[in-house]
């Protein structure tokens, strides 16, 4: 089943849910958005693009695109939060007979779902939204902006992703050329226990950004006691 068809799920869900009243005010009042951002990055960012969270996956719907038009037409954050919380609870397949291809229900629950919904509502489709600021200089900002934190652990970036290898461990002892190779050609040196799902699109980044990212990773591993080249 083409992944492209899956990407119609959320925009259609948003339109459908506007036909009912979705209470979001309580969600906004009771939410911990910092926790919501962390949960979104680690649990949702591996599938969704959300610029405000610094995630850039194309497996599922782009949440900025999904909510941009509705927000421009007057949908407020409370309503967005209600839509997101409902979508977390009861994900909708692209077609009624495609129930094998959709987001698992209740990926986060209870207060965590409230936090995620409120966080997404605060950034999704907001005009001019920028990725989170990283304290790692230009390279750290590239790391965040390209969504690396949604898949990898890296202490220097407060990244806690689990889909890809722990960079604090696997980059120990690697030099700049090795790290660059693993970014632009991820299939060239797979870490045991991990499938080759890293996008190859990073090879298209400007050389300056790639150099900044590599320098940031090297310095991060050094700071963690890993040496580096």
pLDDT digits 0-9 by tens, 181-205: 999 999 888 899 888 888 888 898 8
What CA–CA distance (Å, rounded) separates 66 from 69?
Answer: 7
- What residues have CB less than 8 Å from 111, skipping those under 6 apart? 30, 32
Share of the chain above pLDDT 90, in %: 38
Reported as type and span, the H/E element at residue 137 is helix 137-145
Percent of the chain surpassing pLDDT 70 = 79
The DSSP secondary structure of 56-80, one letter per residue, reads E--SS--HHHHHHHHHHTT--HHHH
Cβ(54)–Cβ(118) under 8 Å? no
pLDDT in tens, 69-99: 999 999 999 999 999 999 999 887 656 666 5
Q: Domains in the chain, start-ordered, CATH in brackets?
A: 3-123 (1.10.760.10), 137-223 (1.10.760.10)
Helix H or strand E segment including 111 = helix 110-123
**Secondary structure (3-state) at 153:** strand
Residue 130 banded pLDDT, cuts 50, 70, 90: confident
Tens-digit pLDDT profile for residues 154-179: 998 888 888 899 999 999 999 999 99
pTM over 0.75: no
> Does pLDDT of 25 surpass 70?
no
């Amino acid at each position: 089943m083409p992944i492209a068809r899956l990407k119609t799920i959320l925009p259609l869900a948003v339109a459908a849910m506007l036909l009912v009243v979705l209470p979001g005010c309580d969600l906004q009042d009771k939410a911990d958005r910092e926790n919501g951002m962390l949960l979104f990055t680690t649990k949702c960012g591996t599938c969704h693009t959300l610029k405000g969270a610094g995630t850039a996956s194309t497996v599922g719907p782009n949440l900025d695109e999904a909510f941009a038009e509705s927000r421009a037409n007057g949908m407020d954050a409370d309503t967005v939060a209600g839509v997101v919380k409902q979508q977390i609870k009861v994900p909708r397949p692209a077609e009624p007979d495609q129930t094998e291809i959709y987001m698992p229900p209740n990926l986060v629950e209870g207060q965590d779902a409230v936090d995620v919904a409120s966080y997404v509502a605060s950034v999704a489709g907001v005009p001019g939204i920028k990725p989170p600021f990283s304290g790692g200089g230009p390279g750290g900002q590239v790391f965040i902006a390209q969504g690396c934190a949604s898949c990898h652990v890296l202490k220097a970036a407060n990244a806690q992703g689990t889909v890809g290898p722990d960079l604090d461990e696997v980059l120990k002892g690697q030099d700049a050329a090795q790290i660059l190779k693993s970014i632009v050609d991820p299939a060239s040196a797979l870490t045991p226990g991990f499938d080759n799902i890293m996008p190859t699109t990073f090879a298209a980044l400007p050389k300056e950004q790639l150099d900044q990212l590599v320098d940031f990773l090297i310095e991060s591993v050094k700071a963690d006691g890993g040496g580096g080249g």
